[in-house]
């Protein structure tokens, strides 16, 4: 069942490529705006790179959260999911995985290329990509809770950012922190371990919370 839902969402994403590309281009443009506006000051660009890339990834992943449940809600498929004899948290986990593959993975793959604009050294690029790889699925999972809670509300786009952004802060701190630590020449594995821990905790708990919030929203 899990693979059915992942497959279905990926199929839908392939049929609507524009949705995927808007998120990716948003990320590329935001990250590229900074070097253009700040100027070619290499030291400054290097210090701000991890923060800028991570904040842009946060915003881009939030931009796509609206799509996570909204279209299923509008055409009645979500009702059918709630009435499915399959476990709802598993379905939610599948949807979050598909969301990450569609909106998170392209960002991760794009990040090293964008990092070059900031004159990041090779090993810092590697740490940046790896931290995004660990962190972006957490964003999709936590975002699913917010998307479930704000389903069908007016102005849900703004509301979901108010709900979800504060929860993203730990991921942001340790994600960007790993890269900064690497550039400062100190150990960064603690940051990455913490990101991994966030990922495991959110895989276990976020689907339950999101499933509960969907049931509440559909009442």
Partner 1 sequence: MFQGTNLACVRGDRKLFESISFKLEAGCLMQVNGPNGSGKTSLLRILCGLSSPGMGIISWNDVAIGTLGNEYFRELTYIGHLSGTKDDLTALENLRISSALAGQKISDKQAQDALAYMGLRGRESLPAKVLSQGQRRRVALARLLVCKTKLWILDEPLAALDVGAVKLMQALLEQHLKQGGMVIMTTHQDIDVTAASTIQLQLA
Residues at the interface with partner 1 (CB under 8 A)? 1, 4-5, 8, 11-12, 15-16, 74-77, 79-87, 218-219
Q: Give the nearer residue to partner 1 in terms of CB position, either 33 or 74.
A: 74
51/212 Cα distance (integer angstroms): 33
Residue pair 172/54 in contact (Cβ under 8 Å)? The answer is yes
State the distance between the two ends of the chain, measured CA to CA, in whole angstroms: 24
Distance of closest approach, residue 207 Cβ to partner 1, in angstroms = 15
Q: Give the nearer residue to partner 1 in terms of CB position, either 77 or 193.
A: 77
> Which positions ≥6 away from 38 have C-beta within 8 Å?
44, 45, 48
202/61 Cα distance (integer angstroms): 16
Count, residues in the chain: 219
In terms of Cα–Cα distance, which of 135, 150, 154, 152 is closest to 61? Answer: 135
Q: Give the nearer residue to partner 1 in terms of CB position, either 53 or 88.
A: 88
Q: Give the nearer residue to partner 1 in terms of CB position, either 16 or 162.
A: 16
Distance of closest approach, residue 20 Cβ to partner 1, in angstroms = 13
Distance of closest approach, residue 103 Cβ to partner 1, in angstroms = 17
Surface-to-core class of residue 97, CB atoms within 10 Å of its CB (0-12 exposed, 13-18 middle, 19+ buried): buried
Distance of closest approach, residue 13 Cβ to partner 1, in angstroms = 9
Distance of closest approach, residue 93 Cβ to partner 1, in angstroms = 15
Q: Give the nearer residue to partner 1 in terms of CB position, either 102 or 108.
A: 102
- CB neighbours of residue 17 within 10 Å: 10
Provide Rg for the chain, Cα atoms.
18
Q: Give the nearer residue to partner 1 in terms of CB position, either 4 or 25.
A: 4
Distance of closest approach, residue 82 Cβ to partner 1, in angstroms = 6
């Amino acid at each position: 069942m899990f693979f059915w839902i992942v497959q279905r969402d990926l199929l839908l994403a392939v049929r609507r490529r524009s949705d995927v590309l808007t998120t990716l281009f948003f990320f590329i443009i935001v990250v590229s705006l900074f070097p253009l506006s700040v100027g070619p000051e290499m030291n400054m660009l290097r210090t701000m790179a991890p923060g800028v890339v991570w904040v842009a990834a946060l915003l881009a992943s939030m931009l796509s959260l609206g799509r996570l449940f909204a279209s299923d809600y509008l055409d009645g498929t979500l009702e059918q999911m709630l009435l499915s004899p399959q476990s709802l948290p598993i379905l939610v986990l599948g949807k979050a995985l598909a969301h990450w593959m569609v909106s998170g993975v392209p960002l991760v793959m794009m990040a090293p290329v964008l990092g070059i604009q900031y004159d990041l050294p090779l090993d810092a690029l590697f740490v940046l990509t790896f931290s995004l790889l660990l962190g972006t699925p957490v964003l999709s999972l936590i975002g699913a809770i917010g998307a479930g809670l704000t389903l069908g509300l007016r102005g849900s786009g703004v509301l979901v950012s108010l709900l979800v952004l504060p929860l993203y802060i730990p991921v942001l701190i340790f994600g960007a922190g790993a890269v900064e630590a690497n550039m400062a020449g100190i150990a960064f594995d603690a940051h990455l371990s913490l990101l991994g821990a966030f990922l495991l905790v959110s895989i276990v708990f976020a689907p339950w919370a999101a499933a509960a919030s969907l049931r509440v929203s559909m009442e």
